Structure 1
Amino acid sequence: MFHDITHILTALIKGAFPLDQVHFVTPAENNRTSPCLSVILETRCEAFFSATGNVPQYSSNSLRISFGKQQLTLQLYRGNALIQQQQIARRGPRTGAFLLQTLNELQMQPTEQDTARLVILSLLSHCRDLLGSDIHTDSRSRALFEAVRRFIDENHASALTRDSVAGAFYISPNYLSHLFQKTGNVGFNEYLTQTRLEHARQLLKGYDLKIKDIAARCGFTDSNYFCRLFRKHTERSPSEYRRQYHSQLIAKK
């Protein structure tokens, strides 16, 4: 359980790790960074908040959250060893900003511990919600990416373009490119080419078709372009690839 930031957040919110004291760290001069919250994970937890980010690193197990303008960074420490880190974009209603502002104001009233604890727990709940939203977004992106991959595999012989594939899924061409780069770590055109060439290799191995027919069956309208592309990726022409494959088959018999 200690290895998972989401579980730690849930345990803190539900009181499995009771939050005891909230400490406000005195802002350091000439050291203004993002607001930071550090929660020491003991039998009774203590929270340390700094509006300028100068929360010291503790040797105890801890959860550290930095609130940047564009993203949150959540770090889980076992002693001084970082064992998990997650970064999530700050988006949607500015709930987090309002809660941070409230903590800023509470620095002037450090004895208001009940209020400070409630604000800290609300802030932790907000972080967990952002994490959950990020996970769901990743799941949807992965599902869409896999659906587009299947579509390309099944329709590789057609005149596919980035625009036509994006239109088939009612998304913008730019988003399609982003989806492939982020989820598949590959460009759309590169993936389309790889898929077509893989089908071409299978046809070269299993069928005695003319090279121009194989090119057409794999979505290439120009057989000369197909041959150049095939050589670029395999260092052999389609005919050489076929001969080498069949020679290896005969040698194994």
Structure 2
Amino acid sequence: MAEFIIRDRVLTKYNGCKKVIHIPYGVTEIGQSAFMDHNEIESVTLPDSVTVIEANAFFGCDAMKSINIPQGVGKIDDNAFLCCESLRKIVIPDSVTELGMWCFSECKSLRTVWLPESIRNIGALAFNHTKWLDEYPEDFVTVNGILICYKGDDTTVEIPAGVKIIASQAFNECKKVGKICIPESVKRICKNAFTSCEALHSLEIHNSLKVPKCAFDDCGEVAVTIA
């Protein structure tokens, strides 16, 4: 049986059992779930030919300590590195514009994260339960104007000027927050932004901002007012 199953330059499945993996040059995509639950893998080297890392590609590779993301990759898809519990560092090149939801969630050893200015979209809980997020020194975790997480415990929250996007589940389970004031710099609120904010009763926005219907899933009644 071949170690790598490759079809039309897409690596669809890994059948090996090595600790150190060197993916052959010419592969352009790491397919969905291609390395899922290979607990023996400790290190992966991706060639410069790779441009796509699909959903669940390395999901559950819990012994993997290191992997490179090549220049040329545009998006890291949903759950791509979910539960890679030994991963310590990730450097995202400036070709990447989007990180899918949960893509580095539950990477419990991940302390060093380098994110480029090219990032324009970050999915829900992309860095949930990582050392990087847990040790982030400020209440508002922002990347290029995207608010990805609020870590504070204030009852009234004033989002800083300069924030442009409130990411999905940015306020997930912020159970003490009762009122949120949104500045004019914010142009978009993503779906489920305020999920399970049980005490939230007031959202203050500017008149050009639209609030999606599903922004308040598992919240009580929230009054939206124009500042």
Same fold flag (TM > 0.5) = no
Q: Which one has the bigger helix percentage?
A: 1
Normalised by the length of structure 2, the TM-score is 0.21
**Over alpha carbons, which structure has the higher Rg?**
1
Q: Which one has the bigger strand percentage?
A: 2
Normalised by the length of structure 1, the TM-score is 0.19
